[in-house]
Amino acid sequence: MNKATVFQIGNRLSRTMPRKDAFIQAWQIIKSGSVMFLVRGVMAGSRQEALRRLANYEPAQVHAFLMQEPENPVDKNAIAVMVGVQGGKNYYKLGYIPASETAKAAAVRGRVSIRVLPGDINGARLTLACNMYGIIYKAKGPSGLVYIGQTTQTLARRKSEHKVRALKQDRRYPFGIALLDEGFSNFQWDQIDTAENAEELDAKEKQWIAHYQSDNPGHGYNGTTGGISYTVTQETRQKMSEAGKGKKHSEKHRRKIGEAQRGKQRTPEQCKRISEAQKGKQLSAEHRRKISEGLKGKHLSPATRRKISATLKSKGILPPWIKNK
């Protein structure tokens, strides 16, 4: 944990206690690495049955997050404990953080990863491990469709990055198009989960996308299934294609691309992968015709012909202008 996290938790705690005491407690939380809460309200409804089921899983398989309930009729500061199992699609309200502990829970909420340890018949222990790596966030539009994303920054920082893209009229992705069409200010942003490492962050992003089905155009704006290794949906491919049609790089842009590529040499492994990917591919008649039309009237300079000739000869192939002589 860095100093910024200590300051953030301390500032949150200072709303309910003297500032000096708040920062002492914030540092103690970070130093100890965890803080324990006894979840209340677990006797209500079928929550005891849920606890018994949780006992059948390893702690690492149980995911949880804290959800503030400002509309709660009993306590507007209430914080509910939502619990689910890895791979599952539903999260269940296990109970509530005690009223005396809501200030502390609100202070660490969004800065920690949560682990649930089933307790006895009278309650459950909720361990908050203070070693956050990244967060999962949800953006909900006025149409009810959602976008799920991940970041190792704060939600406010990530939100501002999306805003900058919207100001630049970025329409390359479904979510970018939605922000422009429905209005950035009309979206509701929430942090819904945390992760301790990159692998967990990827896994949780995939889990939440599956939970909300947000990679389905009828439910959300995610163009992929999430994580670093993802699958691009067919609709996203189509939208990316449409967005790119008719666009031409400026001469300055083309020059920069050329300069960036000069001197670069592919490794043997890269060449092999490209070769394997191209094997068996055949150009359509239309494609071949377009290539032919594009080359008509073009003449290679003597220097270019010499370079091509040297390359082909090194491979034991005669250039066409030598073959035809």
Q: Are 319 and 305 in contact (CB under 8 A)?
A: yes
Residue 324 DSSP symbol: T
Domain span(s) for CATH 3.30.70.2330 in the chain: 3-129
Paired residues of 220 in beta bridges: 146
> What letter represents residue 27's amino acid?
W
Q: Half-sphere exposure of 160 toward its Cβ, with a 13 Å CA cutoff?
A: 4
- pLDDT in 10s for each residue of the chain, 325 residues: 456 677 878 888 888 889 988 888 888 777 665 677 778 877 777 777 777 777 777 766 777 778 888 888 888 888 888 887 766 667 788 888 888 888 888 777 665 556 665 555 455 555 555 555 678 899 999 989 999 999 877 787 788 888 888 888 888 888 888 898 888 989 999 888 877 777 888 888 998 999 998 988 888 988 888 876 555 666 667 766 776 677 777 787 777 777 777 777 777 777 887 887 788 778 888 888 888 888 887 788 888 888 888 887 777 776 665 655 5
Distance in angstroms (rounded) separating the CA atoms of residues 68 and 210: 23
Domain span(s) for CATH 3.40.1440.10 in the chain: 134-244
pLDDT tens for residues 95-108? Answer: 888 888 888 887 77
Q: Are 200 and 133 in contact (CB under 8 A)?
A: yes
At the topology level of CATH, where does 3-129 sit?
Alpha-Beta Plaits (3.30.70)
Q: Are 221 and 174 in contact (CB under 8 A)?
A: yes
Place of tokens 């479904």: 174
pLDDT tens for residues 58-73? Answer: 766 777 778 888 888 8
CATH architecture classification, 134-244: 3-Layer(aba) Sandwich (3.40)
